[in-house]
Structure 1
Amino acid sequence: MNAANRMSPLDVLRLHGLVVILSLLAEWIGIIKIPAGVGTLLLLPLFYTFSLAIVLNPHLSTRFHALAPPRLSAAAAPMTLIAIMPFIARFGSTIGPSTDQIISAGPALILQELGNLGTMLIALPFAVLVLKMGREAIGATYSVAREPNIAIISDRYGLRGPEGIGVMGVYVVGTMFGTLWFALMAGFLASMDLFDPHALAMACGVGSASMVAACSGALTEAVPALREELLAFSGASNLLTYATGLYVSLFIALPVAEWLYRRLNARRLKKGAAQDSTVHKSGADQDSDTVRPEQQLGRTALTLAAVCVVGWLSNTISSGQLWGALPGMVMLYLMTLAGLVITRLVPFYLPAVAWVSLISILVTLPFFPGSAWLVEQLSAINFLAIVTPALAYAGLAPSRHEFVMFRRTG
């Protein structure tokens, strides 16, 4: 967080104020639905705010330097991880009250996440052997590259390194085209009558609110007689992915992706291992995330408070609640901060996003004292509204080096 340390208080206020404006504008525009054959293309506020932030990024164009100078871009990178942690706490809070449903899923829970590993097992060899990608392939293919996966990569490598470039690139593509692809494929496969509609509904739940909405919506249009059942199956599937996807990505997918990348790239690494190591190191050196948030708890607590205020204001437009959502946002702040404190204190390393998720699950379990009240307060917090500001920080964060890597990766 060295870049943030060099910022004046006025610059800090300017950065947060700019994110507030972008987030509120995006939430005011709302969700735009564009009919596309058998499916519907959904344009969400998080897409608008990310796009607007990219346009304002000082490393893309000098046109808006007066509004967003380069020093703001450098400070936005570490704030991206901090800004996404309340979202991790919020989706973790949906798991605790649903433990019975998750346990009753039985083998489906395990099989679903094993299926999601296909993004890596199929795409990573193609990226390395055919597209000749470097370590960007790890971030791009180890998951479906949604918000929790960005948090893992940001915490492990930083978003300015090649892995961060990979995960953000796929996130942008998924945000732009993923909903359309899911909607079209769902309607097309349902019309072929090759698969049980319930199985297709389960396949909708990949851990993305926008994709599951587009996919399940297309299915219900194709099979209207099963509307309620298909919505229930897709919602349960998405919940199971939220419950397990973070940990499967962290403990299985990412280590396997690292191992598989080394195997696929063995010949080049033997000839120029130092070069690959240097590229990886240079990406980390340019990233102001190299000081982890839990290593500066005092400064991180203040930054977290600021981004929670930004998220709270963004939530106001989407949910229509200002003071009613305040207790829930305070709870998210405390759960996130507790996760950071535990990350700092435990004698072994586990990413902060994992601790934040575990705490939010624990305090919302039915037997935890006060969990019913806590779940009620958190219900006023809109999932997508609190992740919208994180995407504004992410759009402002890319450096000139990253834009070069984006163009090279293609």
Structure 2
Amino acid sequence: MPLSRLLDWRLHALVIVIALVSEFVGIQKVPLGPGTLLLLPLFYAFILGVLFNHNVTRTARRFIPERISEAAGPLILLSIMPFIARFGSTIGPAIEDLVQAGPALILQEFGNLGTMLIAMPLAVVVLKMGREAIGATYSIAREPNIAVISDKYGLKGPEGIGVMGIYVVGTMFGTLWFALMAGYLTSLDIFDPRALAMACGVGSGSMVAACSAAIAGTLPELKDELLAFSGASNLMTYATGLYLSLFIALPAAEKLYSLLKGQREAKPAGAQVAPSLNSEEMSQEERPESNLPKTALAMAAACAVAWVANTVNGAGLIAALPGMLILYGMTMTGLIITRFSPFYLPGVAWVSLVSIVMTLPFFPGNAWLTEQLSAVNFLAIVTPVLAYAGLALTKRELAMFREAGWKLVVIALLVFTGTFLSSALIADLFL
């Protein structure tokens, strides 16, 4: 996308307004049964973003150019990276606690298998779904999981329809679901909050941001410790998630599907009904590390938006400026490493690693860095991310959501719930 689109002042001004309004509303607690439902500013930001989306409402179509919605898409990933850096900066100071919790951090990754154990029986036995249930339930259906299904079955078969349906539902509602679910479960005081924080590390930047923010918002006195556990878990997912999906989760989904069907079904040889989102349409946006000068300018704009949003519930502009500049430097350093690294690791993982190393006890100046970063409220810099996400919903995604049907919505929410609860249970047992 042209740099001029990414730097369009109207887009960033709109996101600033949405973020400030959302931050002024603040955290609202709604009693619900034995627990409390936590409504965070990022929730309002997403709703307002959708209402201002050119593709969603007629009113927005009159005042918001389509190019604004188009430019918001790439900025989701860019704007999440300063949060990932802020996230990683909580891991370094807590490294001793994380080492002690090592077995729980490693083993809770197997909680991802809970997606199919909870969702697959309902999909096959109750909702009478076919092989699309395999693609829909073996993972939370983020980009690496789509790549596995695309490589093994292709996206035009039923497995591809399943994984793409969950992907679209997750894109539209997954972040909010994780935030609501995590905040409510924390208020019930059933699990160790550190276990819930670990369960947030699902490998999706926006989901882990919302999830960890909800838990830390419920227990602000433990904020830094909980963020450290979430960040470490998410980093572990980046390192192991693809291999766990490919070699364990997908074969297990195939086996469970066969057992539930009572027979081994032959894999379809011919093309099935094609989903409306095919592999070419799924082709990648330009990765941030592929054009570093362009990314540096767009990242500066995203950081400026987060800097202004931070003024309501964080420090003032002057006090927070060093911290935001540090986050910008950490982010760009991580992307530079991503660009020139001899092996592939996602940019968000490198950004996280850079911020972890720079805040470790032995790193020169780590105490000063940590002090400056404390002026940046991690909740506040997530809020603009959800505003960009709401503005970025495309006609294609909305059409895919309509075509996916209510069955895939139900399955998607069960997949997300199963992943979170299974990971939290395993982590809680080993803690």
TM-score, normalised by the number of residues in structure 2:
0.74
Partner SS for 1:329: helix
The whole-number CA distance in structure 2 between the counterparts of 1:34 and 1:327 is 36
Match of 1:244 among 222, 233, 236: 233
The Cα shift of 1:239 comes to 2.9
The Cα shift of 1:39 comes to 1.5
The whole-number CA distance in structure 1 between the counterparts of 2:6 and 2:315 is 33
Match of 1:73 among 61, 69, 72: 69
The whole-number CA distance in structure 2 between the counterparts of 1:344 and 1:352 is 8
Alignment of 1:285-300 (within 5 A): 285=283, 289-300=284-295
Partner SS for 2:63: coil
The Cα shift of 1:215 comes to 6.7
Contact 2:85/2:327, CA 8 A, preserved across alignment? yes
The Cα shift of 1:277 comes to 9.4
The whole-number CA distance in structure 2 between the counterparts of 1:49 and 1:167 is 17
The Cα shift of 1:98 comes to 1.0
Equivalent residue for 2:5?
7
The answer to whether the aligner puts 1:22 opposite 2:22 as a matched pair is no
Partner SS for 2:59: coil
The whole-number CA distance in structure 2 between the counterparts of 1:60 and 1:297 is 33
Match of 1:47 among 43, 48, 55: 43
Q: Unpaired runs of 5+ in structure 2?
A: 151-163, 201-210, 258-263, 410-431
Contact 1:311/1:386, CA 8 A, preserved across alignment? yes
Is the deviation greater in 234-243 or in 358-367? 234-243
Cα root mean square deviation, aligned? 3.6
Aligned residue identity for 1:167: G
The whole-number CA distance in structure 2 between the counterparts of 1:76 and 1:267 is 43
Partner SS for 1:365: coil
Equivalent residue for 1:193?
none
The whole-number CA distance in structure 2 between the counterparts of 1:363 and 1:82 is 21
Equivalent residue for 1:227?
none
Aligned residue identity for 1:42: L
Partner SS for 2:57: coil
Match of 1:111 among 107, 115, 118: 107
Contact 1:81/1:155, CA 8 A, preserved across alignment? no
Aligned residue identity for 1:318: N
Structure 1 127/406 Cα, relative in aligned 2: closer, same or farther at 3 Å?
A: farther
Match of 2:311 among 311, 316, 328: 316
Equivalent residue for 1:98?
94
The Cα shift of 1:46 comes to 0.4
Structure 1 58/277 Cα, relative in aligned 2: closer, same or farther at 3 Å?
A: closer
Residues 339-394 of structure 1, C-alpha deviations (whole Å, 9 max, x = no match): 11111112222110111011000111111111110011001111111111111111
Partner SS for 1:366: coil
Aligned residue identity for 2:279: K
Contact 2:216/2:227, CA 8 A, preserved across alignment? no
Equivalent residue for 2:282?
284
Structure 1 53/364 Cα, relative in aligned 2: closer, same or farther at 3 Å?
A: same
The whole-number CA distance in structure 1 between the counterparts of 2:6 and 2:361 is 45
Partner SS for 2:105: helix
The whole-number CA distance in structure 2 between the counterparts of 1:335 and 1:367 is 17
Equivalent residue for 1:329?
324
Contact 2:186/2:193, CA 8 A, preserved across alignment? no
Match of 1:165 among 161, 164, 168: 168
Contact 1:33/1:40, CA 8 A, preserved across alignment? yes
The whole-number CA distance in structure 1 between the counterparts of 2:29 and 2:116 is 33
The whole-number CA distance in structure 1 between the counterparts of 2:310 and 2:217 is 22
Count of residue correspondences: 368
Partner SS for 2:332: helix
Aligned residue identity for 1:316: T
The Cα shift of 1:112 comes to 3.5
Partner SS for 1:270: coil
Contact 1:136/1:162, CA 8 A, preserved across alignment? no
The whole-number CA distance in structure 2 between the counterparts of 1:155 and 1:385 is 32
The Cα shift of 1:173 comes to 4.5
Contact 1:89/1:335, CA 8 A, preserved across alignment? yes
Equivalent residue for 1:257?
245
The whole-number CA distance in structure 1 between the counterparts of 2:342 and 2:271 is 32
Structure 1 362/235 Cα, relative in aligned 2: closer, same or farther at 3 Å?
A: closer
Aligned residue identity for 1:284: M
Match of 1:271 among 269, 272, 293: 269
Equivalent residue for 1:402?
397
The whole-number CA distance in structure 2 between the counterparts of 1:403 and 1:268 is 33
The whole-number CA distance in structure 2 between the counterparts of 1:137 and 1:166 is 16
The answer to whether the aligner puts 1:362 opposite 2:357 as a matched pair is yes
Is the deviation greater in 378-387 or in 269-278? 269-278
The answer to whether the aligner puts 1:204 opposite 2:207 as a matched pair is no
Question: Which structure is richer in relative contact order (CA contacts within 8 A, separation 6 or more)?
Answer: 2
Equivalent residue for 1:84?
80
The whole-number CA distance in structure 2 between the counterparts of 1:135 and 1:175 is 23
Contact 1:41/1:214, CA 8 A, preserved across alignment? no
The Cα shift of 1:203 comes to 3.7
The whole-number CA distance in structure 1 between the counterparts of 2:72 and 2:147 is 14
Partner SS for 1:402: helix
Structure 1 124/355 Cα, relative in aligned 2: closer, same or farther at 3 Å?
A: farther
Contact 2:73/2:389, CA 8 A, preserved across alignment? yes
Equivalent residue for 2:299?
304
Contact 1:138/1:166, CA 8 A, preserved across alignment? no
Residues 36-63 of structure 1, C-alpha deviations (whole Å, 9 max, x = no match): 2322121110000001001111111232
Q: Unpaired runs of 5+ in structure 1?
A: 190-198, 218-230
